[in-house]
Amino acid sequence: MSKDKFKNNFEVIAPPTAAQALAEINNLDDDYLSYLSSLPDKVQTKIKNRINATRNGIHAVAPLTCSGPQNCPFIEKCPIPNRDSEGELEFGPGSNYPIGMECVLESIFMRQKITDYMQHLKVDPGNPVEVSIVGELALIDLYKNRCLMVMSSGDRSGQGKDFMRIDILGFNENGDTAEQAKIHPVIEVMDKLEKRREKWLDKLMETRKAKAEWIAKVGGGENDSRVLNEIKQLRDALLSISSRDDGEEDSEDILLD
């Protein structure tokens, strides 16, 4: 092999520009495009809606998948079934439930939380970083709400409503059980979720701070004032959230004591 041919085959390729990289990412294979175009219009619309939800930071797969009233671990909190005069659940027909699709309760909860964060934190819908952070915050709230449902109705063993769990360590020679009481694991999960939420709020603050510093360097006039105002609004919002969380933690500490 000649030196020129070797050089042409193995020369270092310069990294693509931003425009070239985006074009490459969005360049779908012809066979795959043919497959997509062959799908029924209803299926194509469904795919587009799901892609848009993912692009906008909405965790479409986060809510539980409805498994029907007989198999749902949180059926006591489901808004679909009714209760009879004795307080017993009346499931009704299976067609009332979105079996195989997103849980009605969690799907609406997730979307409402995203909306609340977007409005309360003044998030620009066109900013993918901030929208992604909002999605993470809503996801944390969803998981925390799931923890609260466990504590409200009990886990699979019916434990957790008193914040405690009883583990059977074994049996003695008389057949009596040796038990150990401890704080229910869901309490620890909630604590981790709160710490994770604080980190994401800090990340949101850092992104806006970096934006403000960048504008201050290059000069921005009205934009500078607008971003600094966003920082102030975010600080106020974080203080509001922090104050509310402190109140929740105090009430939980009293219950745990």
Quote the pLDDT of residue 6: 54
For the question of whether the overall pTM of this predicted structure is more than 0.85, the answer is: no
Q: Are 91 and 69 in contact (CB under 8 A)?
A: yes
Q: How confident is the model at residue 251 (pLDDT cuts 50, 70, 90)?
A: very low
- The predicted structure's pLDDT at residue 147: 93
Looking at per-residue pLDDT, the higher value among 253 and 41 belongs to 41
d(C-alpha 206, C-alpha 220), whole Å: 19
Give yes or no for residue 146 having a pLDDT over 90. Answer: yes
In sequence order, the 6+-apart residues with CB closer than 8 A to the CB of 122 are: 230, 233, 234, 237
Is the pLDDT confidence value at 186 over 80? yes
Cross-strand bridge partners of residue 164: 183
- What average pLDDT score do residues 147-170 get? 84
What's the token pair of residue 256?
């745990």
Residue 238 confidence (pLDDT) = 72
Contact 53, 60 (CB under 8 A): yes
CB 82 within 8 A of CB 90: yes
Question: What integer pLDDT is reported at residue 223 of this predicted model?
Answer: 53
Q: Cβ(207)–Cβ(129) under 8 Å?
A: yes
pLDDT score at 9: 60
Q: What pLDDT does 54 receive?
A: 67
Q: Where are the domains of the chain?
A: 54-80+88-256
pLDDT score, position 30: 81
- Helices (H) then strands (E): counts for the chain: 8, 4
More confident residue, 21 or 67: 67
Looking at the predicted structure, is the pLDDT value of residue 247 above 70? Answer: no
In percent, how much of the chain has pLDDT > 90? 29
The mean pLDDT of 27-31, rounded to a whole number, is 79
Summarised one tens digit per residue, pLDDT across range 41-96 is 999 888 887 777 666 556 667 899 999 999 998 999 999 999 998 888 999 999 99
